[in-house]
A and B are shown apart, each in its own frame.
Chain A
Amino acid sequence: MPLVGAILLAAMGANAATINTPRVDFMLECQGCHRPEGVGLPSANVPTLKGHVSKFLHTSEGRAFLVRVPGVAQSSLSDERLAAVMNWMVEEFDPAHLPVNFRNYEAKEVNELRKKIMRNPNTIRRRILKASGFNPNDGYQ
């Protein structure tokens, strides 16, 4: 007989006693749309992170962009856990394009940036990529 009580107590994400790894937080907060390995689905308006996301880290505007996009800025994660996910993600999905002097996102920085949710990421991303010498269509369309 299934333990219905135990099932109903199952937490959505971590409870106070446990903190997920950044990888698991990515699965719960991001993977539903961005898909495993961050392959995304540009035809459904979901950018591809894999092989592209670190291209945004070459300018301060691009670094801010990655936290200001609505999916990140509006995440239910705390600033600390969100910073951890960002740091894990850029290394995991696009190590090849990490700037040599990349420094990790910090909670305080994430806290400030996510207050400035971006309304039109699709046009801004093109400008940032082009300014950094990348194809403005990279990772999206």
Chain B
Amino acid sequence: MKWLDKFSELGTRNLARHAARRSFLSRFGAVLVGAAAFPTLPVARADSHRAPAPDETGIEGDPGNPQSCDYWRYCSMDGFLCSCCGGSQSTCPPGTEPSPITWIGTCRNPADGKDYVISYNDCCGKSGCGRCFCNTNEGDSPIFRPTLDNDINWCLGTKSNAYHCSMGAVIGVATEAQS
């Protein structure tokens, strides 16, 4: 359950104010793929030397705009981006609960060419956010293969199965950079 506890931590606004700035890649290199220690993704401190521009993550090695469907982590996205709904690519908006059951795929990070394992946990408990809908859907399958169908409601195991938005959290590395 440590994973879910970490997720609950991530869901609180306070984490954003207190987490230290770290390089995405150096932090990520230390993560055990599949381990219970959910990688709390680095967030820029408010007093960092350079505030990130509105259209970038502010994390070295994690390029792109998390409010855009083109953000590299969203290659299999189907839903509203939590980044546009009061949360972020790895945190749920206040008042919603991350679903422990989730759709998992891989996306290639253009910064290093590696395929990362992405967990598209939904945030549940409020009606649909309605902002930043994306439908990139790499690897999605119709309902005859339900575990790969991201059209079904993945708000499972939560108090409410009302779907609000989707995250794109990095949980591991699938393959090393292709030469």
Contacts and interface: CB of A to CB of B under 8 A. Distances in A.
A27 B103 CA distance: 10
A85 B117 CA distance: 17
B107 interface: yes
B19 interface: no
A37 B36 contact: yes
Contact of B70 (A2, A12, A24, A74): A2
B147 interface: yes
Contacts of A130: none
B160 to A, nearest CB: 13
Nearest to B146: A74
A133 B156 CA distance: 32
Interface stretch (A13-21, A61-69, A100-108): A13-21
B71 A2 contact: yes
Task: Using C-beta atoms within 8 Å of the partner chain, give the interface range for chain A.
Answer: 35 or more
A107 B153 CA distance: 34
Interface string B25-47: 00000000111101000000000
Contacts, number: 118
B129 interface: no
B100 A41 contact: yes
Given A28-B105, A28-B117, A44-B156, A12 B76 contact: yes
Interface string A13-54: 110011010011011110111011101010110100000000
Contacts of B103: 32
A32 B104 contact: yes
A63 to B, nearest CB: 23
B101 A46 contact: yes
A24 B117 contact: yes
Top 10 A-B residue pairs of the complex, sorted by shortest distance between their CB atoms:
A12-B139, A10-B108, A44-B157, A3-B110, A36-B3, A32-B104, A2-B70, A10-B107, A10-B75, A41-B157
Given A7-B108, A17-B178, 20 more contacts: A2-B65, A3-B110, A7-B70, A7-B72, A10-B72, A10-B107, A10-B108, A10-B115, A10-B138, A11-B106, A12-B138, A12-B148, A13-B105, A20-B174, A32-B147, A33-B147, A37-B3, A37-B34, A39-B1, A41-B101
27 contacts: A2-B64, A2-B65, A2-B68, A2-B71, A2-B72, A4-B70, A7-B72, A8-B136, A8-B138, A12-B105, A12-B138, A12-B139, A13-B105, A13-B106, A13-B139, A13-B174, A23-B33, A24-B172, A24-B173, A27-B33, A27-B171, A28-B106, A28-B174, A32-B102, A32-B119, A36-B3, A39-B36
Interface of A: 2-4, 6-14, 17-18, 20, 23-24, 26-29, 31-33, 35-37, 39, 41, 43-44, 46, 71, 74, 76
Interface of B: 1, 3-4, 33-36, 38, 63-65, 68, 70-72, 75-76, 100-108, 110, 115, 117, 119, 136, 138-139, 145, 147-148, 156-157, 171-175, 178
